Structure 1
Amino acid sequence: MEIKYLILFFFCGSALCCDIAPAYWCDTEAIASQCGVLPACSDRLYPSYATEADPVVVGVYFECLCPDSIRFITNMLFPTWVKLRTTGVMKIMMVPYGKATMNRHGSGYNFTCQHGPQECEGNIIENCLLNETNYDEAKYLPVIQCMERSPQPVAAAEQCITRSGLNWTNINACASSVNGTMLMHKAGLATAALNPSLTWVPWITINGIHTDHIQSSAITDLLTLVCETYKGEKPRSCQHTKHGIGAYARRQRFSNKLYFRSRG
């Protein structure tokens, strides 16, 4: 089943077709890279980390209702963020889209999501949440954690957002409008710009790079991966990090082959 959402405009620059307005080119590393403006976007992508070492940027390309995405976010990403949130060691970039597809239809787009229309709805809500919080992980990540821990993430969105002190009315209006469509479209472009291309979900990048080793390390022990990648002085939170998230890391280590065969 496909859901039609209207989109405001379609943009292609003369030198490179980015399919998005220049105002959005610096929103993610993937889009900046596709549009050939990554160096010019460095200050905007990392505005608050002018320290002795850059943070490790963890990119998470995921789907709202994907079981593997839910496990990674709730059992690995969020606990790692809690440990490192005050250290400046890690920066998170989340892109809710995954294996969704979009097809141009008249003046709009049809989105089809891997886990059905409800997942498209959830992905758009989470894209609007990111936008509403100005992509501030301290504001949006606890909400996404709250949603994804729920048996029904989409139904839990209003309660999770309201409890966080954010404006549900604004986010819901975004999700029901062309603004939400634009944000979903932008997430799709960022996902399509990945190199290598996304083949499973969640798709993890470190500083814009994806390898099988990074993927495997991220899903088994993200804390150790981030701490070992960070080039600055290690904070106390990085001490004794080998399999530092505990039981989840131990459970996942033996099931990587199954994970990589997962459809997300």
Structure 2
Amino acid sequence: MKKLTREAQEPLIPHIRPSTRNKIRKYIYGGVFFLSIFILYRALNNNESGKKGIGRNGDFMEYDPRKNGPKLEDPVVNMIKLDIYMEAQCPDTSRFVFDVFNFKRHHFCSRFFRQQLKKAWDILGNLNRIELNVIPFGKARCTEKGNDFECQCQHGPTECEINQLMNCVIDRFGFPHRYLPAVLCMQGKYSLDEAMTCVTQNFPAEYNRMRECAGGQRGRRLLALSGQKTASITPAIDFIPWIVINGARNSDALYDLTQNACEAMQPMPSACKEYLRSLQ
């Protein structure tokens, strides 16, 4: 059999000189070698980088889960849910209420709001660990009348108007740090006009809107919705204010809301530790 020459073995480039073909081979082999090294390097370092691209509308941001993700050794920080069921004209004084067996001393809404809720929110509100809900309704009653509601409140029509104003402000501004100063101010006021001064102080541009809401169909509907929330709790409320922490009624919070809220937080923040030390 005739032995093939190198030219016969490489028919595709017969016109290239042998020395030139050797150079081409070296470049090809060198390129393949470096490409293999690069692929191997990427494979070995892919798991070490731990970085992913995330973005929107063409934006790209480098993300490292080791830096941005939660650390396993960090303690779990819990939120607490605080619900306050109240009405606008609870008396501001303490009194003795007689039941069949003994006397019970009750502090009512206005005193609780000024001495307990305000203090607790001033100390703990900026920690972002309290989901606060204020529900102005109390021992009222609302009856549906067509597309409207007719409501009667425990302390008369004026209390219904101020309850409705509170609900309008809460619905309008949503977050406790926005609405709570105005609601605290309204608590215990003797007329709607007097309660509206709290709107003027906190939201002057909203005066007309809130006045219309408080005296209109929307205010009555919001009051009725608060009534649905109040009627849904178990056991049924028989006292105002009714304080619920993490779904359970807490009567001790009537006398020290800050302490009871702190005790529900785990781990306890430093602000709570300082407050509890001040009680000793």
Query: For 1:168, which of 193, 207, 213 is the aligned residue?
Result: 207
What residue is the counterpart of 2:265 in the other structure?
230
- CA deviation digits over 1:26-79, x for unaligned, max 9? xxxxxxxxxxxxxxxxxxxxxxxxx94232221110000012111111111011
Contact 1:60/1:95 (8 A) holds in 2: yes
Structure 2 residue aligned with 1:64: 88
Check the 8 A contact 2:86/2:135 in 1, yes or no: yes
193, 202, 209: which one aligns with 2:232: 193
Map of 2:32 onto structure 1: none
Larger radius of gyration: 2
Q: CA 1:122–1:149 in 2, change beyond 3 Å: closer, same or farther?
A: closer
The offset of 1:137, in angstroms, is: 0.6
Match of 2:112, as an amino acid? Answer: F
**Kept in 2: contact 1:133–1:139 (CA 8 A):** yes
Deviations 1:143-176 (A, max 9, x none): 11222265x3633222211211351111112122
Structure 1 residues 162 and 69, CA, compared in 2 at 3 Å: closer, same or farther? Answer: same
Q: Tell whether the 8 Å contact from 2:124 to 2:271 is kept in structure 1 after alignment.
A: no
The answer to which structure has the higher strand fraction is: 2
State the shift of 1:90 in Å. 2.3
Q: When the two structures are superposed, what TM-score results if normalisation uses the length of structure 1?
A: 0.66
Sequence identity (%): 28
Amino acid in structure 1 at the alignment position of 2:86: F
Paired with 1:243 and 1:191, the residues of 2 have a C-alpha distance of 35
Residues 115-194 of structure 1 mapped to structure 2, 5 A cutoff: 115-134=155-174, 136-148=175-187, 150=189, 152=190, 154-166=192-204, 167-194=206-233
Q: Deviations over 1:89-129 (max 9, x none)?
A: 32311000000012234443321110001000010000001
Tell me how far apart the structure 1 counterparts of residues 197 and 82 of structure 2 sit (CA, whole Å). 27
Q: Residue 129 of structure 2 corresponds to which residue in structure 1?
A: 89
User: Partners in 2 of 1:149 and 1:235 — Cα distance?
Assistant: 33
Partner Cα separation in structure 2 for residue 186 and residue 111 of structure 1: 12
105 and 156 in structure 1: CA distance in 2 versus 1, 3 angstrom threshold: same
**TM-score in terms of structure 2 length:** 0.62
Judge conservation of contact 2:150–2:220 (CA < 8 Å) in 1.
Answer: no
Shift of 1:238: 3.6
Runs of 5+ unmatched residues, structure 1? 1-50, 247-264
Pick the aligned partner of 1:80 from 113, 116, 120: 120
Pick closer, same or farther for the CA change 1:149–1:79 going to 2, 3 Å.
Answer: farther
Q: 1:154 to 1:238 in 2, by over 3 A?
A: farther
The 1-side partners of 2:137 and 2:273 are apart by 31
Provide closer, same or farther for how the CA distance between residues 171 and 242 of structure 1 changes in structure 2, counting only shifts above 3 A. Answer: farther
Q: Cα distance, 1:233 vs. partner?
A: 4.1
